[in-house]
Chain A
């Protein structure tokens, strides 16, 4: 493609990016609004953030969400990475087609159906619903996203290092931890981040699989949004956006540093 931007290119990008960002910017701006009316600006204030601090229900929900997120993302990353190795390194095993299907189907399955099926399962096996059922449900649907991310890294990967390690007598387990894992680490970390955000974000599956005492933040936000837009919700959302933005920026910077170091090492190797 040529690198000269026409007026049309600039206009379509400005339009596209404004469309993507304007709603979020407005939401953040109005979380600092002094008025309770969300759409009338009446001066800067942090009153809703203080209000939030006293809202036990929201804080409890945030704590539940955070615990579910960290726990489910961690287990999902382990399971998802295993599935990725299975699919990328073992081309023939009984049930490979079934496993591929089970990894890809949840990615396109409507959340309502995933939620419904897990709930019916928990009812059928008589498992008490609450924190653990939400966590199990989140592990199951996020691990497939981890698999896709890690698998794409495993495929575009110089396998001669693994070969060398095993030629020198390392077992597959040692090879994995000494060679493969350090090399695919960025993809594993990205998978964890993705699983964590998906868990943090999920309303539908959590609503189906939850039980007493395990109300997550999206469920809390949803029930309040149905009653109308309130500045407290704007404030919660702003905090979540801030956390995610900081996380993404840090991840990007770390990744960039890694790429720079890698480029330097490759240059040194080429020179030497």
Chain B
């Protein structure tokens, strides 16, 4: 089926499509349609959209010594109007005026960008090797990349503490083979954050690149080789440009969550490397300043929305 499409088959498919659309309930008010659209829609609106709007609202509220610790609250409908007039941009002004937040944002973006590049440098050769492996091995190799993803994120980050700490396994190994005489300080530095992010997000980078390399038509590189192109040149002029959609997808899948990462910088980066995810956490749990925590969160979403929009445009163009 599918290879030899008869003209009649196309006709039938088309009419089937139109009839199908009617039968699935477009234009009518089928119960199935209403339930299937309505229930998840209401759920997402209630537990994703509304909560986020509450964050935006609280980011415009004033900090107060009360439960909950912000003003105004909209409990009683008669106070709604006076409540609206109390909303301020003070928290945003505060974030803009304090270097702490600016530094946390730039540090988060810088760490996310640097670790995205590092992940790419490890993931690309890995994906390239996988795509060149005999077809019979490939499913196993893909499984091997996915399997660590199924094991707990926290556990994988935790495993690195035992390796990286001063009396840890890495230092023991390096000292026993005589490469270093004193333990390297890696844990609680940005280096440890890089290692943690690269390690945790490696599958997200490897799989899209592998997918685009695996689909590639290798007669192109063969033709280039027949015409006398050295392998490295063929790689840069043919293979790499063709794998670019996978590379871009992988970069976004790593960069966006890495920028808002909390667990990795908290466990591996120590207290001196303050990334933005940790800042939200501290403002909320330690300082109990809910309005400022909300404002920091809203700004982070605004910063991350830009790459997401670019990404979707790019996806739409490719698709």
* Interface positions of A (Cβ within 8 A of B): 1-6, 8-10, 12-13, 15-17, 19-21, 23-24, 26-27, 30, 38-39, 79-80, 82-83, 85-86, 89-90, 92-93, 95, 98-99, 102-103, 105-106, 108-114, 116-118, 120-121, 123-124, 136-137, 139-140, 143-144, 147, 159-160, 162-163, 166-167, 171-173, 176, 197, 200-201, 203-204, 208, 218, 221-222, 225-226, 229, 233, 237, 240-241, 244-245, 247-248, 252
In the complex, number of A-B residue pairs with CB atoms less than 8 Å apart: 278
Stretch at the interface among B82-90, B98-106, B174-182, B290-298: B290-298
Q: Which of B25, B156, B169 contacts A172 (CB 8 A)?
A: B25
A39 near B168: Cβ-Cβ < 8 Å: yes
Which of A23, A109, A147 meets B156, CB within 8 Å?
A: A23
B39 at interface by CB-CB < 8 Å? yes
Q: Which residues from A are CB-within-8-Å of B92?
A: none
Q: Which of B41, B52, B148, B162 contacts A99 (CB 8 A)?
A: B41
A16 with B206: CB separation less than 8 A: yes
Is the C-beta of B71 less than 8 angstroms from some C-beta in chain A?
no
Given contacts A79-B39, A111-B277, 12 further A-B contacts (CB under 8 A): A1-B132, A12-B128, A12-B129, A16-B125, A20-B199, A23-B163, A39-B162, A82-B35, A113-B300, A117-B55, A118-B51, A245-B151
In contact, A121 and B36 (Cβ under 8 angstroms): no
A99 touches B125 (CB 8 A): no
User: Contacting B134 at CB < 8 Å: which of A3, A86, A244?
Assistant: A3
- Please tell me if the beta carbons of B297 and A172 are within 8 angstroms of each other in the complex: no
> Which residue of B is nearest A17, CB measured?
B144
The CA of A10 and the CA of B290, in the complex, are separated in Å by 52
* Complex-state Cα separation, A19 to B197, whole angstroms: 13
Is B155 on the interface with A (CB-CB < 8 A)?
Answer: yes
B23 within 8 A of A: yes
Shortest distance from the beta carbon of B91 to any chain A beta carbon, whole Å: 14
B267 within 8 A of A: yes
Is B281 at the interface (CB under 8 A from chain A)? Answer: yes
Contact A19 B55 (CB under 8 A): no
Q: Find chain B residues with CB under 8 A from A225 CB.
A: 154, 158, 161, 267
Closest residue of A by beta carbon distance from B284: A116
Is B304 within 8 A of A1, CB to CB?
A: no
CA distance A163 to B62 in the complex (A): 57
Contact of B54 among A89, A90, A124, A197 (CB under 8 A): A124
Cβ of B78 under 8 Å from chain A: no
Cα–Cα distance between A84 and B20 once the two chains are bound (Å): 17
